[in-house]
Amino acid sequence: MDCEYYKNAQVHLRYHYELDNYKEYSGNFRKYVFKFINGEITAAEALDTINDMLYIHKITLNTDETSYGLILFIVTIVLSLIFIGSSILIVTPRFKPLFKFLPIDFWYVILLGILCHMASVITEYGEVLQYKCQLKIILYSIGYTLILVPFLYKLITNFPEINKNSTLILNNRYIFLSTLVLGDIVLAFINLLSSYGTKTITPDNGKKYQECKMNDTLSKVMLYLIIGYKVLIVLGIGFFCFIEWNIDETKFDIHLSISTIYINILSIIVLIIFKYIKFSNYIVYCILNKIFILIIVLSNYYVFIGIRIAIRLIKKKDDDPFGNIEKFKIKQYVSNSSSPNNTYTSTSSNSGTYNYKKVIGYHYQTSITRSHSQSQTQSQS
């Protein structure tokens, strides 16, 4: 037909296949158009709002929409450079006496774990893809292991009573570390077989954003296994911390280091809670998530490394509390070596009661055996 009206019709395609709920989109579209017609909002405001209903917001270095991505990137790079730069201080003569709690190489292992957490921030940039979701989990998992295992190693080898297991781990610390990291690597390879997708979040203001979504049972099982693996390590740390809570040689370090475990647990709980909250603004969602990740990173760095550097920079050598603790340890060690050991002994036939009282006895013990203490010093030198 030679119909002028038909020839000039401008067809507007519906987004049936691009939207999960077209009716909701169509209703909101018309709502904002009528708000403009009624003079409640301007044309620019109406068009921006309609655009937000379709556009998926991402973290990018582009500052056209927001400078959040660029600021986060700069903060990540600056903190990473500070962490790497401070590693030089660990082996300098002025700071080295403050890092006797662990073998020198294990301080670098902790730093590597902290940098793994920092690197996980980069996976948040751009489009949410399967490999990014998997890589983020791997970096989190290995990062936590590298941070926690050196502390666990020290606690095991610092056991109040000399035993073959502590001695074996003391003399094979690299095998101990490699074995626990290998567990993460195995779980990570299995996790590569799982399927991850994207979940689109639509807040009330219409600014959509996406996050990782587990598509199959394997991905969920692997996540639970990875979390369970970390829980076992944390429980081991908690158990040995209780036993060695009053040992003079490491009391200050243990009381200080355990605080980062509490901070990590609380921050992870908050991050999990965030997954079930629909934020009204995707920038707020991103900022809050990254704040708690940075809290985990900074608390681990400060408790394990930063506070030791700060003490040396702020205080004079004579006023160094670590130095005073060293003097106290020597004095207390001499007095304990000449007196009966504080370990609880019992001839009770009830093994459960005996083991319980023995653990309590270890908790109140203030020193470790001489031979075990000397072997630790030789191993860390």
Of 69, 76, 154, the closest CA to residue 109 belongs to 154
User: Residue 233 sits in a domain of what CATH number?
Assistant: 1.20.1070
pLDDT tens track for 340-354 = 444 444 444 466 676
Tokens of 156: 């095991």
Of residues 27 and 118, which shows the higher confidence score?
118
Cα 315-259-365 angle, rounded to 5 deg: 90
Query: Quick check: is 184 in a domain?
Result: yes
Q: What is the DSSP letter of 210?
A: E
Q: Is there a contact between 367 and 160 (Cβ–Cβ < 8 Å)?
A: yes
Percent of the chain with pLDDT strictly greater than 90: 15
Query: Quick check: is 255 in a domain?
Result: yes
Q: What is the DSSP letter of 59?
A: B
For residue 304, count other CB atoms closer than 10 A to its CB.
24
Same domain, 47 and 132: no
Span 223-243, mean pLDDT? Answer: 89
Same domain, 37 and 107: no
Only one residue has tokens 């990014």, namely 132
* CA–CA separation, 295 and 75 (whole Å): 13
- Please state the pTM of the whole predicted model: 0.78
Same domain, 31 and 74: no
pLDDT tens track for 250-276 = 788 888 888 888 887 887 787 778 777
Query: Quick check: is 371 in a domain?
Result: no
Same domain, 20 and 92: no
What domain count does the chain have? 2
Same domain, 19 and 144: no
* CA–CA separation, 346 and 133 (whole Å): 54
* CA–CA separation, 48 and 68 (whole Å): 19
Q: What is the DSSP letter of 375?
A: H
pLDDT tens track for 80-137 = 999 999 889 888 888 888 888 889 999 999 999 999 999 988 888 888 888 898 899 8
Q: What is the DSSP letter of 211?
A: E
Domain ranges, residue 47: 4-52
What's the pLDDT band for 312 if we cut at 50, 70, 90?
A: confident
63-71, Cβ contacts within 8 angstroms, sequence gap of 24 or more: 66/283, 68/283, 68/286, 68/287, 69/125
pLDDT tens track for 37-77 = 998 889 988 888 888 777 788 888 888 777 888 998 999 99
DSSP 143-179: HHHHHHHHHHHHHHHT-SS--HHHHHHHHTHHHHHHH
Same domain, 80 and 43: no
